[in-house]
Amino acid sequence: MNRTSTALSDVRRVAKAVLVQPSGALGLVILVFHVLMMVVAPIVVPYDYAAQSASDMFLPPSSAHWLGTDNLGRDVLTRVMLGGQAAAVTTVLATTVAVAWGAVAGITAGYRGGLFDELFMRLIDSFQAVPWLLFVMLIAVTLGNAPIVLILVLGFCYGLQSARVARAATLDIVARDYIWAAKARGEPMLTILWQEIMPNIRNVLLVDGAMQWSWMLLWFSSLSFLGLGVSPPHPDWGLMISDARLYLTVIPWAALAPMIALSTFIIGINLTADAFGKALGIDRSAGEAGA
Identity of the residue numbered 32? V
pLDDT value of position 286? 46
Could you tell me the pTM of the whole model?
Answer: 0.88
**CATH assignment of 8-286, among 1.10.3720.10, 1.10.760.10, 3.40.50.1400, 3.40.50.300:** 1.10.3720.10
Q: What is the pLDDT along the chain (291 residues), one digit of tens a residue?
A: 455 666 667 778 888 888 899 999 999 999 999 999 999 999 999 899 988 988 889 989 999 899 999 999 999 999 999 999 999 999 999 999 999 999 999 999 999 988 989 999 999 988 888 888 788 888 888 888 888 999 999 999 999 999 999 999 999 888 888 888 888 888 888 888 888 899 889 889 999 998 899 999 998 998 899 888 888 888 999 999 999 988 988 889 999 999 999 999 999 999 999 998 888 887 654 444 434
